[in-house]
């Protein structure tokens, strides 16, 4: 009889240790799945912002100087439907005429009109329409903004130009156009 009791206690100890090992393994699995789930949610929201955040370029125009060359370029844009807000300090404007590409950064200290001087490698903006959640220095849903910059090279008739808006997070938007064969108006519409 003593032998049966000892054998029963040994079986009970093995059984209890298997339950403890299974509980520890289950705890590790639950913790790992929770960590993977939070990383997947974070990656999903970043991917969603990357895909959905973009600009819609409405038009591009240029103002002529006294010599008949384009002096300032104005690009009017708004956010694409479903876009997150875009911080203008994190947005690069790339201007690519035949003479070579130039990148422009936002300068909030410049005047909000296109006649500002000092726009070398910088652009300023003017809010044409403020959205319901308007905040200076950002583009929010409903905002319509005019980006203004000085071209890095002389813009003449009949040349191919590309202007790209590059947000830090999201899709870039390009306006590719050819300047008119004759520049005569004070304000020439270049795109669309």
If you average pLDDT over residues 60-88, what whole number do you get? Answer: 89
Which pLDDT belongs to residue 44?
A: 60
How far apart CA 69 and CA 65 sit, in angstroms, is 6
Which one, of 137, 90, 147, 139, lies nearest residue 113 by Cα? 147
Place of tokens 């240029």: 62
How far apart CA 91 and CA 99 sit, in angstroms, is 23
Place of tokens 């329409």: 129
User: Which pairing describes strands 187-191 and 55-64: parallel, antiparallel, or unpaired?
Assistant: antiparallel
Which pLDDT belongs to residue 178?
A: 94
63-67, 92-96, 107-111, 184-188: least confident range: 107-111
pLDDT of 60 over the 90 cut:
yes
Q: Are 150 and 71 in contact (CB under 8 A)?
A: yes
Residue 3 token pair: 């032998």
Which one, of 162, 136, 1, lies nearest residue 73 by Cα? 162
pLDDT in tens, 106-151: 988 766 666 655 667 899 999 999 999 999 999 999 999 999 998 8
Q: Are 81 and 149 in contact (CB under 8 A)?
A: no
pLDDT in tens, 1-59: 555 556 677 788 888 888 989 889 888 888 888 888 877 676 665 555 445 688 999 99
Which pLDDT belongs to residue 94?
A: 95
Angle, CA 96 vertex, CA 87 and CA 91 arms, to 5°: 5
If you average pLDDT over residues 65-70, what whole number do you get? Answer: 83
83 DSSP 8-state letter: P
């Amino acid at each position: 009889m003593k032998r049966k009791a000892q054998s029963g206690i040994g079986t009970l100890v093995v059984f209890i240790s298997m339950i403890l090992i299974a509980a520890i393994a289950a705890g590790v699995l639950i913790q790992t799945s929770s960590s993977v789930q939070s990383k997947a949610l974070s990656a999903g929201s970043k991917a969603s912002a990357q895909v959905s955040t973009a600009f819609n370029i409405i038009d591009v125009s240029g103002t002529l100087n006294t010599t008949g060359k384009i002096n300032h370029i104005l690009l009017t844009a708004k956010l694409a439907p479903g876009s997150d807000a875009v911080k203008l300090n994190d947005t690069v404007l790339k201007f690519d005429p035949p003479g070579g590409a130039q990148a422009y950064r936002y300068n909030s200290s410049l005047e909000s009109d296109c006649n500002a001087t000092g726009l070398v490698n910088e652009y300023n903006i003017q809010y044409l329409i403020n959205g319901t959640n308007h905040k200076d220095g950002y583009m929010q849903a409903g905002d319509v903004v005019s980006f203004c910059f000085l071209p890095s090279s002389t813009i003449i008739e009949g040349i191919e130009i590309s202007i790209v808006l590059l947000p830090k997070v999201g899709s870039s938007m390009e306006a590719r156009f050819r300047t008119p064969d004759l520049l005569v108006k004070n304000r020439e519409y270049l795109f669309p």
